[in-house]
């Protein structure tokens, strides 16, 4: 029995001597594995950027006389716009880098318009903006052409450092109807958080009423005198409340061409159509469906 115990103790001692280095090595490797952090691959790691304080609005271009007026505080958010007019679209936001980086990554602000037939837009000015690009793309949902303006801004290289971004786009409404306008954010190497959804608006573009011409009568030349108004293609005269017609019963119109400047003085001899004392007024018309017939001009008394 004692001999058996010695054999067992010998075997255990032998195992302990040779297994200790092996067991120690295993435990050491495990500790190293727990603390090991693989190096980042710069080509696949996303840089975290937070977007906040997103504000936007529109300003009628006729209300702007100085660039200092191009401020978010001066904007409004209408859903209805007039055709053939210029507007400024402003968007501002804060972008904050949440990851240290080399400072070369770009955050793209994308502004899209439904169709080149409704709205056109150009980058007017940017704050901290770089490489503004304008492209025409096909909307896969509607099949319509879209204008996409992309304005890029470099993010801060330091962690938790913010940049204030202001973008101003001058847009022109081209055609009455409805058009969708959207804003989104993107960046190929960025992981975006915060107010990342952007926004979209359905804009109603209204027809515009033509101006009524200023009308007078020249007693010496016996001619109607009036000024050519913007976007007018022709004029009709009303005599004693009835539209003027020739002897064949056709409406008499006075046409202008593209060479007739806005505000140009026009003389219209009515002696071939009427004589005596009459009350006369005039209206302006356009061949474009974007415009509504003007109001009547003031009425003048003629003696031919």
CA atoms within a 13 Å half-sphere pointing along the CA-CB vector of 167: 27
How far is 219 from 282, CA to CA, in rounded Å?
Answer: 18
Cα dihedral sign, 9-10-11-13: positive
Q: How many helices, marked H, and strands, marked E, lie in the chain?
A: 1, 21
Cα dihedral sign, 276-277-278-280: positive
Angle at the Cα of 59 from the Cα atoms of 52 and 121, rounded to 5 degrees: 85
pLDDT in tens for each of the 304 residues of the chain? 544 444 444 444 444 444 544 444 443 344 434 332 333 444 467 899 999 999 999 999 999 998 889 999 999 999 899 999 999 999 999 999 999 999 899 999 998 887 666 777 776 655 555 556 777 666 666 666 778 888 889 999 999 999 999 898 888 898 899 888 899 999 988 999 999 999 998 899 999 999 999 999 998 888 999 999 999 999 999 999 999 999 999 999 999 988 899 999 999 998 888 989 999 999 999 999 999 999 999 999 998 8
pTM metric for this prediction:
0.74
Judged by DSSP in three states, 122 sits in strand
Residue 258 φ then ψ, to 5°: -70, -15
Greatest distance between any 2 Cα atoms in the chain: 153
Residue where the block lists tokens 């009036």: 226
Pairing mode, strands 208-209 and 300-303? unpaired
How far is 151 from 183, CA to CA, in rounded Å?
Answer: 11
Return the structure tokens found at 13: 């001692």
How far is 266 from 254, CA to CA, in rounded Å?
Answer: 10
Return the structure tokens found at 174: 């081209």
Give the residue among 167, 169, 131, 125 at the shortest CA–CA distance from 152.
Answer: 131
């Amino acid at each position: 029995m004692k001999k058996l115990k010695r054999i067992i103790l010998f075997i255990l001692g032998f195992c302990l001597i040779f297994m200790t280095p092996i067991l120690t090595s295993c435990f050491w490797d495990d500790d190293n594995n727990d603390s090991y952090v693989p190096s980042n691959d710069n080509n696949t790691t996303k840089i975290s950027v937070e977007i906040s304080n997103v504000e936007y609005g529109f300003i009628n271009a006729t209300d702007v006389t100085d660039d200092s007026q191009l401020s978010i505080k001066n904007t409004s958010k209408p859903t209805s716009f007039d055709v053939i007019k210029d507007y400024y679209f402003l968007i501002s936001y804060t972008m904050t880098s949440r990851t240290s980086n080399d400072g070369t990554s770009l955050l793209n602000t994308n502004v899209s318009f439904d169709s080149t037939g409704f709205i056109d837009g150009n980058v007017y000015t940017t704050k901290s903006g770089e490489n503004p690009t304008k492209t025409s793309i096909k909307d896969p949902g509607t099949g319509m052409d879209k204008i996409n303006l992309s304005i890029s801004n470099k993010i801060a290289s330091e962690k938790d450092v913010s940049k204030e971004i202001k973008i101003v786009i001058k847009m022109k409404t081209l055609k009455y109807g409805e058009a969708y306008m959207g804003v989104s954010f993107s960046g190929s190497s960025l992981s975006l958080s915060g107010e990342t959804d952007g926004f979209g608006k359905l804009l109603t573009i209204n027809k515009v009423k033509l101006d009524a011409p200023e009308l007078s009568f020249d007693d010496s030349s016996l001619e109607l005198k009036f000024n050519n108004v913007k976007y007018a293609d022709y004029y009709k005269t009303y005599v004693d409340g009835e539209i003027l017609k020739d002897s064949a019963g056709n409406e008499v119109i006075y046409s202008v061409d593209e060479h007739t400047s806005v505000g140009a003085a026009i003389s219209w001899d009515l002696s071939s159509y009427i004589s005596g004392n009459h009350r006369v007024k005039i209206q302006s018309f356009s061949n474009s469906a974007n415009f509504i017939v003007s109001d009547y001009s003031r009425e003048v008394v003629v003696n031919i």
